[in-house]
Amino acid sequence: MFGGRFRLVQRLGRGQAGDVFEAEDLRLGGRAAVKVLSPEHGGTPVEERFVQEARVLARLDHPHVVKVLDAGTTADVAWIALELVDGQTLEARIHRWRARPSPGRFADAERIFRELAAALQHIHELGLIHRDVKPSNVLVFGGPCAKLADFGVVHDARRAITMFGDELGTPAFMPPEQAIDPADVSPSADVYGMGTTLFTMVTGDKPVVISTAGYRERALEALPVGLREVVDRATRPFVEERYATAAHMLEAVVALEATAVTK
């Protein structure tokens, strides 16, 4: 029992920091996802980041960000209770699209992109940078609806210092400046993650090809012309050449769609 209200039902998955369980909420009813930190990480930077994730999620209030329900420590073990999203990761959805191509996947990809961009806009307005935007950190359900998850390496741009032990993120989805110094990033780092995620949604290919010399141009040619321009700018290696924020990237996609309608 965690927090006097969450009774574990079954394990849903296991990560580097600990396990995720489906739980029954005995106070409010319904189900929750409870992330439980592995005991060996107690008193380490991993626990510090785990607690930081809970604090960050408590500040966020957006329909396309996974909602935190509670957090605490039980028997010296830290835990976070989150809303349980009954769906799959965007990564799994992309694998399904590749196995069974459907014309509707492009409309689904557009909707997911819009929702993620809106979520990131909210995050950026609070001075936060996710730093690990990728398909496996996006939960998809319903028609589809998307929610951004996993804020374990989030960066608060308004803090004077960076937490010891900050992690890099995921190489294929992160920009060069983040690999050099994960603390010296801007919202443009999340734009890069959005660009690589959008590329993967539309093409089904791994984004490493657009950051590899000699392959980038050919990889971008797999995209529709207008979208190619958006992904190209979002994934530029130099910060000043990218969209400054997710909101700016979304504006470019909306303008592209408006142009297509008027033609």
pLDDT in tens, 49-88: 888 889 999 999 999 999 999 999 999 899 999 999 999 9
Catalytic residue, chosen from 25, 70, 132, 232, is 132
Ramachandran angles phi, psi of 247, nearest 5°: -60, -40
Q: Token digits for 182?
A: 């994960």
Q: What angle do CA 138, 139, 140 make, to 5 degrees?
A: 115
- Give, for 253, the enclosing helix (H) or strand (E): helix 246-262
**Mean pLDDT (the chain, rounded):** 89
| Residue boundaries of the structural domains of the chain | 6-83, 88-262
Q: Superfamily assignment of 6-83 in CATH?
A: Phosphorylase Kinase; domain 1 (3.30.200.20)
Range list of β-strands (E), the chain: 6-14, 18-25, 31-37, 68-74, 77-83, 88-89, 128-129, 138-141, 145-148, 155-156
- Rounded to whole angstroms, the Cα distance separating 231 from 198 reads 7
Amino acid 210: pLDDT: 86
pTM over 0.75, yes/no: yes
Mean predicted confidence (pLDDT) in 3-13:
94
Distance between the two ends of the chain, CA-based, in angstroms? 59
pLDDT band at 209 (very low <50, low <70, confident <90, very high): confident
Mean pLDDT score, 142-164: 76
Could you read off the pLDDT of 26-37 as tens digits, one per residue?
A: 999 999 999 999
CATH superfamily of 88-262: Transferase(Phosphotransferase) domain 1 (1.10.510.10)
Of the ranges 31-35, 105-109, 116-120, 248-252, which one carries the lowest mean pLDDT score?
Answer: 105-109
3-class SS at 203? helix
**No. of H helices and E strands in the chain?**
8, 10
Instruction: Check if 190 is active-site.
Output: no
Mean pLDDT lowest among 3-12, 58-67, 143-152, 165-174: 165-174
Q: Report pLDDT for 68.
A: 95
